[in-house]
Structure 1
Amino acid sequence: MGHHVEHDLRSPSRRTLLGAAGVAGASLLAPAGLAHAAPEEVLAPPPGHAPSRQTAQALALQTFQRINGVEVYYGKQTSPLRNWSCTAGFYDRLQAWMRTLSNWSAQAGHGAVRSIGSAGFYVNKSGQHGAGTAMDLSIVRWAGGRTSNMFDGDHASGNRTRRRRYFAVEATLRSHFRYVLDGNYNAAHRNHFHADFGGLPNRRLLHGSRSDTVFMQAVCNNFLGSGIAVDGAWGSNTQREVTMLKNRLGVSGDLQRDRGKVNQLLKGIALHGFRDQAI
């Protein structure tokens, strides 16, 4: 969050291509019947994403390639796996989020989450990324072929199904991370979600938060057909439509104070989004 660094995720790096070629060559040279035993290739993260030994020790960072068994690739790539770093506490939160994403999307008829793409976790910069407590999410893939593609701007897709699935994924993130920035927040996040540890466990929906407001405005437009401006200003039109959203989902209470009600609302949004249903 804050000073965000854009990364080129469009194509594999030369190192990635050479690494993939090396694995392919090794499999061709392996004796018959042993190719399957070749070690899995895991590359270092992109430049700036690998902490120094001193930083890793100071922040108590851990290395991973999967979250709750789900493979994590760079950007839109589907190979090879890479090493990523974050704190142990943040990794625990990532695993809890992945369980929620898998469970809620499965309830809506999606297959298992097969892989995700990321633009980074720990990154050598200031803020939550530099603390090892942030994730940039660029794509989610399910078994069976469904995707939610932040990198290609699904928040503004001409396909309503894709837009609803995008906001369903965002609802799962908001159920675990206090700060979530999406494609409606600003242009810098048009191709990924940013989610971080800031302010946990306070997961309320605040009228004074641009992040929270544009999310709710976009949800009302895509699930209620509200037609309100997605401008980050929580005015009377937004309040009217959010009240209607709450009523239709059977949610009562103050979303600025009651975290339990917020999570109830988020689950309702997610299930309708994954099912491509109006609210």
Structure 2
Amino acid sequence: MSEKDDDTISLGDRLANGTFLAIMGLARILPYERRVPAMGWFFARFLGPVAGWRKRIRENLAKARPDLDDREIARLTRAVPDNAGRSLAEIYSGQEFIGRIHGADPLSGPGLPALEQAAAAGRPVILAVAHFGNYDAMRAALTGRGWPVGALYRPMNNEAFNRHYIPAMQAIAEPMFPRGRSGLAAMLRFLKGGGWLSLGYDQFDDNGAVLRFFGLPTKTVLTPAELAIRYDALILPIAGIRQPDGLSFRVEVGEPIAHSDPETMMQTLNDHLENQVRQHMEQWFWIHRRWKERGSR
């Protein structure tokens, strides 16, 4: 990834990055047990309304869960940004966060034996992940078992923010592959050699197949299933589910997805995620435009 010179970064990006660093710097003064909820509170009370997140959450809930009452919708407009703020604070807490995850060894779920077998056999693994709970709790839990997991990422538009955000994620688990030709080539070599790769699948993808999520049609990426078929990789869903204390996690490994055709496999993942979201509504990032309409951005 090439970096821009300082003088090519816009003033707006510099100000946004400076504001974030100031807020994160203040948060770091607090002990971990107070820092994480404090960032959640800040996102819920300030960033969420300013960024328009509350409006987006309401719009998505109206499509996917029109059965919810006003009280629950109001709760979710605060709880979803709260989870996002907590997750960001955890990423920037480095070893404090990683140590907690490693010490707890929170991996569980029906797919864990299959992961253990894949590790023993050196078989490639596709970890299907969503913007749910804290994605990095999963990565930390796997590295705690000695299972390095690679990830494909898209650099943020704000280059000034990237300069500290990417290293913060790399500190949790490596390797990481930037989107683009060179990153994709390195990622495929890693997977072909028996690597484990986490791939997201819960955002609208213009080139995806029209599948269903919460009973609604939406374009879903097929790449995780296609790569699993091509490289005979184990593929299964995995999620770091935040626990009621707001600080600890259960990293749930779902049942392996049987190889068939990519559309069927990805629909199975969509169905699994929907069930998980229904159980923990506040932990999915309801801010994405998951159900885009023609001509919308």
TM-score, structure 1 as length reference: 0.33
Higher RCO (CA < 8 A, seq sep 6+): 2
- The answer to which structure has the higher helix fraction is 2
